[in-house]
Amino acid sequence: MAASLAALLQARGYNVRIRKFDPYLNVDPGTMSPYQHGEVYVTDDGAETDLDLGHYERFSGVSARQSDNVTSGRIYQDIIAKERRGDYLGATVQVIPHVTDAIKAFALDESEDLDFILCEIGGTVGDIESLPFMEAIRQLRNDLERDQTLSIHVTLVPYVAAAGELKTKPTQHSVRELTSLGIQPDVLLCRCEHDLPDNERAKIAAFCNVRKEAVIPALDAESIYAVPLQYHAEGLDDEVLRGFGITDSKEPDLTRWYDIVDRYHNPEGEVTIGVVGKYVGLQDAYKSLHEALVHGGMAHRTRVNIKWLDAELFENEDDLVTKLEPMHAILVPGGFGERGSEGKIASIKFARERNIPFFGICLGMQMACLDGARNVGGIENASTSEFGPTDNPVIGLITEWQSKDGMQLRDDDSDLGGTMRLGAYPAKLNNNSHVASVYDAQDIEERHRHRFEVNMAYKDTLESGGLIFSGMSPDGSLPEIVERPDHPWFIGVQFHPELKSRPFDPHPLFASFIGAALKQSRLV
Ligand code: GLN
C-alpha cells in the first residue's frame, strides 16, 4: 500500500520516503529465519531490514537507508544504552514520553528535502507490541500542524461465499479499535475480493466517520505492478492530497507504470529458470530474487517461470537430471549453512557441463568455486569453513576488510547479529570480461551480506579449474565475481544484485541472464 501510494505521489513530482515500523523486539531482522520473516533486505548503508523496504525501493526507485526501518528492539536498545550512560539525568525512563519520543524522532529524521514521509506500522491494530507506535503517531498528529498529517487504515472487507455477501463489520471493528487509541483514520483502504457496491461504501463511511470518497476499494490486482494504477483509478492519491489541502497538484505521469504492466502482461517469449535453494517452501524468503528475475523478463518482454527446487533432493543424481533438464537456466541463490550444499554443487556441475546458463549469487558463487576446485581443479575435499573445519578452506571466514567506517575485524567468536560484511561496496571489473560487457562499466557498486569469501590462497587451483576472477574489491583483496570464459553464461557474484533491480530499471545481470535463458530456450 505505502509503496503504491509513494509511486503515485512521485509520479506527480513529489519527493517521498517510506519508513517501516516493526513492533517486534529483534533489533533488526538480520538474525531471524527467512522462514519466519522472509528475506532480509540490505540497504546501501548496510542495514539489515524488513523485506517491505525492498518493495518500497522497487516502487519508488528511492534507495532505502538504515533510517527507514526501526523495530521496538532497536528503540529499546538505544534508550537502555542512554539510560546506562546516565543521559537521562536521574529521570524515570518510561514508554511515554521516552519510547514515543524516540519513535517520533525516527519518523521525522532526515526529512529536510522531502514533501511526504509515509510511515507504515507493521502488525494489526490492537497488537500489544504496536501500542507505543500508535501512541507516537497519535501525538505526532497534534505536534504537527492540522493539515500536515493524514492517517490511512488498511482493513479487510471479507466476502462470505455461502451468503453471497460482503461483510463490513470487521472494518467497523478495527476502526473502532483504532479510534479508541485516539486515531481517527482519514482514508480507509478496503481489501476486498469483490467490487464494493456504492451502498456498502456509504455504510462503511457512515459507521467509520470518514467521507464516502475516502473509502477506497482495494481489489486483488492482476499483479503487484498493477496496484498503483488500480489505486489511482479508485482515487487514492486524489483523496490523500485533498486530506493535505493540496488542490493544485497536476495529474500523475504514470507512463512507466503502464509500460511495465504491458511488458509483464503481454509477453512475447517465455523461459523457465530453475532456482536451486534451501528456503524454497516460502517464496518471501527470495522476494527480491523473484522480482529481479521478473524485471529481467520485462527487459526482454518475456514471461519468466520460476521453478523453486529444493537443493537437498538433488543429492540423488537421477532426480537432478529429470528436474534440471527442462530448465533454460539455473540459478543458485544466497543462503546460510550446509544443508542442501551437495545438491547445489551438483546442479552447478550440471549447468557447467551442459553449457546451460548459470548464475550464482553469494553462497551460490561460493558453491560454484567448490565445484571448480573439486570437480575440475582436483581438490576433492575442497570446502568452506562455514560448514565446519576443513583441510582445504577454498572458502574461508573474512577476518578483515576496509569499510567506509574504517578497518573491520572479525573472528570465529564475533556476534552473529549485524557483524557480516554488509551494504554497498565498490568492485573493479576486468577489461574484456563477460561481466564488464554486461554492466558496460568497469566500476560498480553492489550490496553485500556475507561472512565468508573465496580464499585467494586457492586462486591458482580455481583458475586451473577454468574460473577467472573478473571482479575484485578496488584494493584487490576480496574476490567479488568469478566467471567461466569457456561457457556461454556462467557468472558467480559475491554480492546480491537482486536488491538493486527495479521494474523500470532491471539489473543488467538479470536482464543479461534472462537473455541467455531465451537463447537457450531456442536451442532446446
Ligand atoms: N553463508 C555465506 C556467507 O556468509 C553466504 C551468505 C549469503 O549467501 N548471503 O558468506
Question: Would you call 487 a catalytic residue per the annotation?
Answer: no
SS3 308: strand
pLDDT for position 402: 82
pLDDT of residue 500: 97
Report the pLDDT averaged over residues 475-489: 96
Instruction: Decide which of 279 and 52 is more confident.
Output: 52
Helix (H, G, I), strand (E, B) or coil at 151: coil
pLDDT at 71: 95
Tell me the C-alpha to C-alpha distance, in Å, between residue 244 and each of 94, 216, 240, 257: 33, 17, 7, 25
Report the residue among 40, 331, 366, 422 best suited for mutation to probe ligand 1: largest number of ligand atoms under 8 A from its CB. Answer: 366
Give me the residues paired with residue 42 across strands: 48
334 lines ligand 1 (CB under 6 A): yes
pLDDT in tens, 79-119: 999 999 999 999 999 999 999 999 999 999 999 999 999 99
Q: Which of 295, 328, 496, 507 is catalytic?
A: 496
The verdict on the CB of residue 452 being under 6 Å from ligand 1 is yes
Contact 29, 48 (CB under 8 A): yes
pLDDT of residue 280: 85
| Strand-pair partners of 218 | 191
- For residue 140, what is its C-alpha cell? 505526532
pLDDT band at 233 (very low <50, low <70, confident <90, very high): very high
Residue 136 has pLDDT above 90, yes or no: yes
Distance between the two ends of the chain, CA-based, in angstroms? Answer: 41
499 Cβ inside 6 Å of ligand 1: no
Please choose from 278, 289, 363, 454 the residue to mutate so as to test ligand 1's pocket, defined by most ligand atoms within 8 A of CB.
363
190 CB-side CA count, 13 A: 33
Instruction: Give the pLDDT score at 409.
Output: 84
Banded pLDDT at 344 (limits 50, 70, 90) = very high
pLDDT tens digits, one per residue of 362-385: 999 999 999 999 999 999 999 999
Query: 365 C-alpha vs ligand 1 centroid, how far in Å?
Result: 9
**For the chain, what percent of residues have pLDDT higher than 70?**
100
pLDDT score recorded for residue 34: 82
Alpha-carbon distance 389 to 413, whole Å?
15
**What pLDDT, on the 0 to 100 scale, is given for residue 400?**
83
3-state secondary structure 23-47: CCCCCCHHHCCHHHHCCCEECCCCC
Confidence of residue 325 (pLDDT cuts 50, 70, 90): very high
Strand partners, 272: 305
Return the ∠ at Cα 506 (arms to 275 and 518), rounded to 5°: 55
Cβ(448) – ligand 1 distance below 6 Å = no
Residues 162-173, mean pLDDT to the nearest whole number: 94
**169 C-alpha to ligand 1 centroid (Å):** 47
Decide if pLDDT at 416 tops 80: no
> Mean pLDDT throughout 2-7?
96
Instruction: Let me know if 498 is a catalytic residue.
Output: yes
Q: How far apart are CA 309 and CA 166, in angstroms?
A: 39
Say what the pLDDT of residue 173 is.
96
Lowest mean pLDDT among 169-183, 215-229, 399-413, 450-464: 399-413
Average the pLDDT over 164-169 and give the result: 93
List, for residues 137-148, the tens digit of each pLDDT value.
999 999 999 889
CA dist 469 and 429 (Å) reads 9
Query: Which three three-digit cell numbers place residue 388?
Result: 565446519
Strands (E), 393-506: 393-397, 400-403, 406-409, 421-429, 443-450, 452-454, 468-472, 479-483, 490-493
pLDDT at 259 over 80: yes
Across all residues in the chain, what is the average pLDDT?
95
* High-pLDDT (> 90) share of the chain, %: 88
Tell me phi and psi for residue 21, to 5 degrees: -105, 120
Q: Is 37 a catalytic residue?
A: no
Q: Residue 420, SS3? A: coil
411 falls in which pLDDT band (50, 70, 90)? confident
Contact of 192 with 217, CB cutoff 8 Å: yes
Q: Quick one: average pLDDT of 193-210?
A: 95
Give residue 116's pLDDT. Answer: 97
Residues 6+ apart with CB under 8 A from 23: 71, 72, 121, 122, 123, 127, 129, 130, 132, 133
DSSP-assigned letters across all residues of 237-284: HHHHHHHTT---PPPP--HHHHHHHHHHHS-SEEEEEEEEES-TT-GG
pLDDT higher than 90, residue 345: yes
Q: What's the pTM?
A: 0.94
Asked if pLDDT for residue 239 goes beyond 90, the answer is yes
With a 6 Å cutoff on the Cβ, whether 363 touches ligand 1 is yes
Mode of pairing for the β-strands spanning 116-121 and 69-71: unpaired
Amino acid 9: pLDDT: 97
Helix (H) or strand (E) holding 56: helix 52-60
Contact (CB, 8 A) for 132 and 101: no
